[in-house]
Amino acid sequence: MRRFSQHKIFRRKNLRAPQANIELVRAIRAVQLVKKPKAEEQEQIQVFHNSFEDFSIAEELRRNIIYKKYNVPTPIQDKSIPAILSGRDVIGIANTGTGKTAAFLIPLVNKVFNNKSEKVLIVAPTRELALQIHEELSCFIKGMGIYSVLCIGGMSMGRQRNELRRNPHFVIGTPGRIKDLIGERALYLTQFHNVVLDEADRMVDIGFINDIKYFISLLPQDRQSLFFSATISGKVKEIISAFVNNPITISVKQQETVENIEQDVIKVLSKDQKINQLQNLLTQEGFDKVLIFGRTKWGVQKLADRLIQKGFKAGAIHGNKNQNQRQRILEQFKRNEIKILLATDVASRGLDIPDVSHVINYDMPASFEDYVHRIGRTGRANKKGVALTFVD
């Protein structure tokens, strides 16, 4: 196990915490002690049946995939792309960071390229995820005469209305803004015969289940429906039953946390010393690109301000910042212009940032699911990562 010289860590065999945190600490410990798959099982996980050359897609799209430097399909891509190309409804169950966005974008782009009358609606839980899907789509459709519009809060609704009047092939948005545009009669869901619900479990968590049910009621019966989620809870099942028709279920999810994330729990010496413990961590070697989670918008901003005062290159994203501010800070973090990004859980939903070396839970997550979501921001694309949780 990696040794951190500047702070005290609870050893896995004798974790201690106040009663309010004890169940979560036990859950973290259970994750740390999870049995690793046998070598032959790991090898089986990596078996791929297709290359991108094998898929029956347009050469223009294939060139864009190559230009994006996608070489071998991930498991969710390997299984989902042929099913979607064949016209099947799909329920995809996969961890974040598994390449599921390309798994549905590639076959849908091919479908639209072959028939420009097709329209696609993609619904995502957060602005950040919707923006990431839109950016990835832009790479796949380059030079193919396919147009898209991003419909999210924090940006001009008037501009979005104007773009929708141009009859784009793809509409990507969040539930709140989509509902607003429907209410203003700028968006008609009856036009969409291809629909994707991405990270449906997060939409339920955030409280959009009734909006999603409303959208489904407005969709045409004759449609291809694609549903992606990391978990299938009771409420998610309510959506599935009304959304898909004779679906094929594709699950490439092996376990709640990947094996290449090293996890530890840090004892907070005192509230007064907590910021100093964090500072000592951040000055150690290897803390190259760090994502820090806090509980509240106010607390995250206050911590970011203190770190900046101490000379760290840091930024914060939370609900009190507008979309342009959040996106600018995210881009700075992606380009390594800042080394530390602080975020609340809601602001971080759907973040896909490469090469995050460490996730630090400065404030305890509210649930084990939130813990899993947080630490999943590191250790992505088969790279190693470290997750550290402060416990009072």
pLDDT tens-digit map of 258-314: 567 888 888 888 888 899 999 999 999 999 999 999 999 999 999 999 999 999 999
- pLDDT band of 350, cuts 50, 70, 90: low
* 341 and 333 Cβ atoms separated by less than 8 Å: yes
Domains 9-34+256-391 and 46-251 alike in fold: yes
The encoded tokens of residue 250 equal: 């594709």
Confidence check: pLDDT of 32 > 90: no
Res. 208: pLDDT tops 70:
yes
Q: Which two tokens stand for residue 126?
A: 């957060």
| pLDDT tens readout for residues 69-89 | 888 898 899 999 999 999 999
Asked if residue 288 lies in contact with residue 339, where contact means CB atoms within 8 angstroms, the answer is yes
The predicted pLDDT at position 19 comes to: 42
Instruction: List the chain domain ranges.
Output: 9-34+256-391, 46-251
Query: What is the CATH topology of the domain spanning 9-34+256-391?
Result: Rossmann fold (3.40.50)
Which residue's structure tokens are 């078996």? 47
Contact 245, 225 (CB under 8 A): yes
Given strand 261-267, what is the order of strands in its sheet?
9-10, 261-267, 385-391, 358-361, 290-293, 340-343, 314-317
* Banded pLDDT at 14 (limits 50, 70, 90): very low
> Could you report the per-residue pLDDT of 291-305, keeping only the tens digit for each?
999 999 999 999 999
Query: Nearest-CA neighbor of 87 among 223, 198, 192, 220?
Result: 223
User: What's the predicted TM-score (pTM) here?
Assistant: 0.67
Q: Per-residue pLDDT for 26 more than 90?
A: no
Distance CA 2, CA 170 (A): 46
Name every residue whose Cβ is closer than 8 Å to that of residue 297 and which is 6 or more positions away in sequence: 318, 319, 320, 344
Neighbouring CB atoms inside 10 A of 205's CB total 22
* Residue where the block lists tokens 């329209």: 119
Q: 46-251, which class in CATH?
A: alpha beta
Coil, strand or helix at 258: coil
The DSSP bridge partners found for residue 343 are: 293, 317
pLDDT, position 96: 67
Contact 133, 198 (CB under 8 A): yes
